[in-house]
Amino acid sequence: MAQLVRSRRSRQAKVEAGIAPDSQPSTRLIDAVPIPVGDALETLLLSHGGPIEISGLELESTALEEMRAAGVDLIVPLIGQGELLGALYLGPRLSDQPYSTDDRSLLGGLASQVAPAMKVAQLVREQQAEAKERERIQQEMQVAALIQQTLLPKELPSIPGWHVDAFYRPARAVGGDFYDFIPLADGRLGVVIGDVTDKGVPAALVMATCRAMLRAAAQRHAEPSMVLADVNELLVPEIPPAMFVTCLYAIIDTEVGELVLANAGHNLPYVRTTDGVIELRATGMPLGLMPDMSYDERTYRMERGDVMVLTSDGITEAHNIEGEMYGFPRLMGRVAVKPSNDDMVAALVGDLEGFTGPGAEQEDDITLVVVRRIASAKAAAETFEEEGSVEVLAKFSVPSEEGNERIAISKVAEAVSALGLDEARLERLKTAVGETVMNAIEHGNENRAEIPVEVEVVASAAAVTVRVSDQGGEKPIPDAELPDIEAKLAGEQAPRGWGLFLIGQMVDEVRTESQDGTHSVELVMNREEGVS
């Protein structure tokens, strides 16, 4: 007797075992002939339901012919829930008598008992296989996640005057997102964000390779376009077919805020400026697709307060419950809004979660890199303070009376005397301080002696900053334009109006800030010429 077991999942007949129930010498093992799905015999067995002698059957069936050749006499179908789970094949009776009605009914009864048990066994086996597969996938994902987490930056760069933040959350099936910060010479910082097509271990391995290539190329070339072109050349022969990497590489000169970037097919970066959000577009093919690619470069000067947001498509291609995509317009709209505590990462992740809805499964990795140039020198100084490299040289106040700017000038000069500013820079700083304090006395505090003008002198390794505060509130400070001396000399313009203009010309940077009725002007003088 042979037993045929069919796998439900594969729908392919599979011979599980051929058994001889006893070892009588005349017992012969019958080859278990598979019954292909859709074979006429299958249809017959299902419709008949009970044991069938095949001798009298006339069917267009390969299986039937094979069975006859194998010496099968009687087929007992094993049917569960309308499905042919298997069959018992019996050869001729040892007595050479045909199978009796009793025999058939016995076999039919046996089959009806066996079939449900087989069904259960089959289900158990399938579940075990599925569990094993799940475990394998899970292990693979764990490996992928491990590779990724090992290679993503452990710490964020800490740069005076800048705030860098990053967010990475893998999808359940880990994708190939990555980001990196590469410290470069001369206070420049390389910023990378990328996405490898595909998921799991293959994507993680390509990501690891690509990251290493980028790090090496970043030290070889000063231009982001060259870095990407170089990595592309190296990656093309290494990368598995049909895989590629989108990648954006930016170099920021953190001293002056200049940003140069090249883009290999990645999401465009957004920058929130005082004039709204701009896209920094630079074209280029993804890495690893084809050799000899060149990449555009885009330059942008990040002003104080500007925020650059780099994203992966896990954000823009996330869907809500109605199947709508998060999309670039919404992202741009959110970047435009300054978060109350300046936490752009939290604001964007929060908005995305609000969009996809609670408990929604994340479709793809989500990666965010936010680079902000800190708005005010005070805030910048606070970052410095964390670094422990800033020193408050003096803090004093003068009554708001005409002429008192000269007290402030003397005190500032004394405070900075140890810094070794050259004569010209010291004199310019003194003039700027004098003009700023004059403005604070006259315009900010309106010559009310009882309201003091506060002055603070702070030095860092690179610059000295003098902060002058009055109680002038939110009064706007006009832009320092070049006064028209011709008009003044012709009597068409008041001879006054030199103060703001002079201040702007005297120091390396002037920043103004109004908060809670206090108006502050910060004068930044670099400690050395040309070092900004």
Partner 1 sequence: MEDGFEARVSTVEDDALVRLTGTVNRLAKEGLEAAYDEATSRPGRVMLDFSGVDYINSTGIAVIVGVLAKARSEGREVAAFGLTAHYREVFQITRLADFMAIYEDENAAVAAG
- Sites of contact with partner 1 (CB under 8 A): 402-407, 423-424, 427-428, 431, 434-435, 438, 483, 485, 488-491, 494-499, 501-502, 505
d(CA 460, CA 527): 9
Closest distance to partner 1 from the beta carbon of 409 (Å): 8
Question: Between residues 404 and 469, which has the closer beta carbon with respect to partner 1?
Answer: 404
Question: Between residues 321 and 490, which has the closer beta carbon with respect to partner 1?
Answer: 490
Closest distance to partner 1 from the beta carbon of 391 (Å): 26
Residue type, 247: C
d(CA 154, CA 219): 20
Strand spans (E) along 13-118: 13-18, 52-53, 74-80, 83-90
The answer for residues whose C-beta is within 8 angstroms of residue 277's C-beta and 6 or more apart is 270, 271, 332, 335, 336
The strand pairing partners of 248, in sequence order, are 193, 263
Question: Between residues 242 and 424, which has the closer beta carbon with respect to partner 1?
Answer: 424
Closest distance to partner 1 from the beta carbon of 509 (Å): 17
The answer to whether 31 touches 69, Cβ cutoff 8 Å, is: no
Closest distance to partner 1 from the beta carbon of 434 (Å): 6
Question: Between residues 324 and 414, which has the closer beta carbon with respect to partner 1?
Answer: 414
Neighbour-count burial of 2, counting CB atoms closer than 10 A to its CB (0-12 exposed, 13-18 middle, 19+ buried)? buried
- Looking only at the bridges linking them, the beta strands covering 245-253 and 162-169 are unpaired
Helix (H, G, I), strand (E, B) or coil at 162: strand
Closest distance to partner 1 from the beta carbon of 426 (Å): 9
Question: Between residues 316 and 439, which has the closer beta carbon with respect to partner 1?
Answer: 439
Distance of CA 223 to CAs 126, 249, 428, Å?
56, 10, 36
**CA nearest neighbour of 113 among 88, 89, 93, 90:** 88
Question: Between residues 203 and 409, which has the closer beta carbon with respect to partner 1?
Answer: 409
175 token code pair: 């994708």
Closest distance to partner 1 from the beta carbon of 507 (Å): 12
Question: Between residues 130 and 402, which has the closer beta carbon with respect to partner 1?
Answer: 402
Phi first, then psi: give them for residue 363, nearest 5 degrees.
Answer: -75, -35
**CA nearest neighbour of 312 among 256, 368, 248, 265:** 368
290 token code pair: 């084809």
Question: Between residues 40 and 407, which has the closer beta carbon with respect to partner 1?
Answer: 407
Closest distance to partner 1 from the beta carbon of 512 (Å): 17
Closest distance to partner 1 from the beta carbon of 508 (Å): 15
